[in-house]
């Protein structure tokens, strides 16, 4: 029973639509009706500005981090499950949130939060990589896909050092989520029509 509650809690945590609720509560704006219509930090930056975008980014990261750390709660102390599994459930919740008609974000920030909760050095690596690529290209989508490759490369090296197959599998899965959610962006990048950020 505790395992079911854990996984459900992780999914529901990930389902919290930070961009939607923050936009409606403080800006009287439904971000789904503007910009790309996506419930993620990038569209929040575009529609509501830097402060709102940064707030949503942090909140979406924390969803993944908290999901990984749920096992530290006394209620779940006897649950025998790898902490990355509830982390992935939070990412699924972020992409397909029950609180927003199952139409959510593109998994980037919450995936980063999962890494932060499990192995903070890889989070720092992907964050720095993301910022560098974003500064050079001005494309959030391309930066997101690049860091998913970097993160997976790190997990391969980490596997040969520690034998942690869970990190390898889960980072590969999260990277697959990111590429799948960015499939329309890939088409626009190839066509040279992908929008570039103006706030950096």
* CA quadruple 25, 112, 127, 167: dihedral, nearest 10: 180
The tokens for 14 are 């990930």
Q: What is the DSSP letter of 17?
A: -
The tokens for 164 are 């942690």
Is the per-residue pLDDT at 51 higher than 80? yes
Summarize pLDDT for 14-46 with one digit per residue, the tens: 999 999 999 999 999 999 999 888 898 989 999
Whether the full predicted model's pTM is greater than 0.75, yes or no, is yes
Summarize pLDDT for 85-111 with one digit per residue, the tens: 999 999 999 999 999 999 999 989 999
The tokens for 153 are 């490369």
Summarize pLDDT for 122-138 with one digit per residue, the tens: 999 999 999 999 999 99
Give the gyration radius of the chain's Cα atoms. Answer: 17
Q: What is the DSSP letter of 73?
A: S
What number is the average pLDDT over the span 150-170?
94
Give every CB contact of residue 164 below 8 A, 6+ residues apart in sequence.
155, 158
């Amino acid at each position: 029973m505790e395992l079911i509650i854990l996984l459900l809690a992780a999914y529901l945590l990930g389902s919290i639509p930070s961009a939607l609720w923050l936009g409606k509560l403080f800006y009287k704006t439904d971000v789904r009706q503007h910009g790309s219509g996506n419930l993620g930090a990038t569209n929040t930056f575009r529609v509501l500005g830097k402060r709102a975008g940064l707030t949503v980014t942090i909140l979406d990261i924390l969803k993944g981090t908290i999901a990984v750390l749920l096992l530290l709660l006394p209620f779940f102390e006897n649950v025998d499950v790898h902490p990355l599994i509830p982390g992935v459930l939070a990412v699924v919740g972020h992409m397909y949130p029950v609180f927003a008609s199952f139409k959510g974000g593109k998994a980037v920030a919450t995936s980063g939060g999962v890494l932060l909760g499990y192995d903070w050095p890889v989070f720092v690596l992907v964050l720095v990589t993301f910022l560098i690529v974003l500064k050079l290209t001005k494309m959030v989508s391309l930066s997101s896909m690049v860091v998913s490759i970097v993160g997976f490369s790190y997990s391969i090296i980490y596997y040969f050092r520690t034998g942690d197959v869970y990190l390898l599998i889960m980072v590969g899965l999260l990277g697959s989520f990111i590429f799948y959610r960015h499939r329309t962006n890939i088409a626009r990048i190839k066509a040279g029509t992908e929008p570039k950020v103006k706030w950096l």
